[in-house]
Structure 1
Amino acid sequence: MSRLKAKFKRLKSCLKSWNASRKSELKTRKKDLLVCLGLCDVVLEAGQGDDNIRSIRMQSANDLAKMEQEVVNDMAQKTKYKWPIQWDENTKFFHTIINKKWNLRTISGVKLEGNWITDLPQVKTAFFDFFSAKFAKFDTFPVVNQSDRFKSLYPFQREGLETNVSLVEVREAVWSCGSNKSLGPDGFSFALIKHFWEDPKDDILMPLLSFVTLSFFLQAVIDMS
């Protein structure tokens, strides 16, 4: 996963350079189209234009409209990307919702042995003791299902739960996600991963195999989240 993170960093740097160069080219191209349109209008207003001039003006107008539409789409994508990162954090509505959820999820106390406890250390101790006893290992004989009334997994289903994750399963999971849904605020969508699947597929599969076999994720996964 660390290699995938490094690839995304290099990709983002290359995209920034390409975007700056592309903006400069579009700006120059737009100026040329406006000049061409102006010259064509002057010739047509003077009554000296022919079908060739009209065709050039129409083509220049279409190219200018497509260029402006690309700028609008780019601005819409940037707005969609920056909204959850910048704007929502500075709105009163955002902080109101966060504070409301915080108040609803706050545990002010717990009832223990008929007494209401509000002291924070005692509340933490009560929760810890409760769940420790709840999930403690019991020294009992395992229960064997010998009745047809209870549903059980087939042998191939049990084997599927114990086998490693395959690249086919990872690909199906990626393709089941929407192409316009982003992995996070990094801006890389599933459409990019699907298009260049052959390059990052091994880097995506390796941490999943580590999680299945070793039951932990690499620190790079946490850094990318």
Structure 2
Amino acid sequence: MIDIEGFDDVVRHSWAIGVESNNSWVRFKKKLQFLKSNIQVKNSSSRIRCRSKRKMLQDSLESIDARIIEGDGSASLRELRVMTLKELNELDHLSNVDLAQKAKVKWGIEGGENSGHFHVVVNRKRHQLAIRGIFIDGVWVDDPGRSPFSREEIKRVVWDCGSSKAPGLDGFSFGFIKRYWDLHEDDVVDFVLHFYHHSSIPKGSNASFFTVIPKIWSLVKLK
């Protein structure tokens, strides 16, 4: 629902709230939680308006078609029909995007059940997929913690990810992060650097919020 009218205002207003915490993870999490709550309210009212508008447009289209069948083929009426169909298609597009996001979240929750077999497979491969070092600017580093991430590196990683991919079940896709990068760049950078310096997840944060999942054998680059 990122394209609905007024969405930008909701995001920017929500992100401007003050969060009192010295922990960048806690600040980032609370801002996302507050934003998500406001987006849910916005989406709920938007869906009601969309349903009402769609009913009105559908009735208008049926009326236009009835007049055309009766012989009224004026240019203005045909133009009105085209405009009505265009508005209906735009509403259907917004609805399809909303349904696609809901399906993605539903699959994330229910698709990969925490079965015993799943855990056996993961534990067996844990040693094989362990990251023992990486190449940084052509130099092998077996203790990557000595090379902090730069602001440019963090942004590049975000932009390398598909816009429709979501980092978690919170529903905030990389497309969302890219679109509002100017708004929350500092929060994202502080969030990443906090984990780099402390190597720990604050109490109360979801441990799955930040997960490194190697998808290839012999991983030597963070990409």
**TM-score in same-fold range (> 0.5):** yes
Rounded to whole Å, the distance in 1 between the matches of 2:52 and 2:122 is 55
Deviations 1:44-63, CA, capped at 9 Å, x for gaps: 22223422112212221232
Bigger proportion of residues as helix: 1
Amino acid aligned to 2:165 = K
- Structure 1 length normalisation: TM-score? 0.63
Three-state SS of the structure 1 residue aligned to 2:181 is: coil
Aligned to 1:144: none
AA aligned opposite 1:99: G
1:14 is aligned to: 38
Q: Call closer, same or farther: CA 1:32–1:165 in 2, change over 3 Å.
A: same
How far did residue 4 of structure 1 move? 0.9
Structure 1 unaligned blocks of 5 or more? 108-152
Contact 2:166 2:172 in 1 (8 A): yes
Q: CA distance change for structure 1 residues 35 and 198 in 2, over 3 Å: closer, same or farther?
A: same
Secondary structure of residue in 2 paired with 1:67: helix
Q: Does the Cα contact within 8 Å between 1:207 and 1:217 map onto a contact in 2?
A: no
> In the alignment, is residue 193 of structure 1 matched against residue 186 of structure 2?
no
- Residue 213 of structure 1, CA deviation: 3.7
CA RMSD in angstroms comes to 3.3
Asked if the contact 1:33–1:64 (Cα under 8 Å) also holds between the matched residues in 2, the reply is: yes
Query: Superposition pairs for residues 3-152 of structure 1, below 5 Å?
Result: 3-86=27-110, 88=111, 98-102=115-119
Query: When the two structures are aligned, how many residues end up with a matched partner?
Result: 172
Gaps of 5+ in 2: 1-24, 125-135, 210-223
Superposed CA offset, 1:105-145 (max 9, x none): 789xxxxxxxxxxxxxxxxxxxxxxxxxxxxxxxxxxxxxx
Distance apart, 1:199 and its partner CA: 2.6
Q: Deviations over 1:8-52 (max 9, x none)?
A: 111111111111121122112112212211221222222234221
Question: Which of structures 1 and 2 has the bigger CA Rg?
Answer: 1
